[in-house]
Amino acid sequence: MIDKEIILHVAKLARLELKDNEVESLKEDLGKILNYFITLNDVNTDNVEPTFHPFPINNIFREDIIKESYPVEEILSNAPESTLTYFLVPRIVEEKNGN
């Protein structure tokens, strides 16, 4: 069964902040949807290989040739925050002395 705890755990995995009312409606919707999907258990899939792609694709190799890329300033043009040639994000590694 899908309970609040599962919803919050999955939301954490998905990096998705949810409001209380969203948790409630997702609990109900996902419960209903997954319940309907239980019909798949009726199908015998012993010895059936899974299909992950419509047609067989193997590793695709190409020559390792250096090509021109997009200019850095263009790549950065859509960034919410950037400096010089970098994307700016909140600090990830804590400073020494707990600052």
Number of residues that bind another protein (CB under 8 A): 50
Angle at the Cα of 41 (from 35 to 48), degrees rounded to 5?
Answer: 140
Angstrom CA distances, 61 to 53, 64, 70, stand at 18, 9, 22
Fill in the per-residue mask, 16 to 35: x = in contact with another protein (CB under 8 A), - = not in contact. Answer: xxxx--x--xx--xx-xxx-
Coil, helix or strand at residue 58: coil
Q: Cβ closer to another protein: 17 or 64?
A: 17
| Binding-site member from 69, 78, 83, 85 for another protein (CB under 8 A) | 78
Point out which residues bind another protein (CB under 8 A). Answer: 6-7, 10-11, 13-19, 22, 25-26, 29-30, 32-34, 36-37, 39-41, 43, 45, 48-55, 57, 60, 62, 70, 74-75, 77-81, 87, 89-92
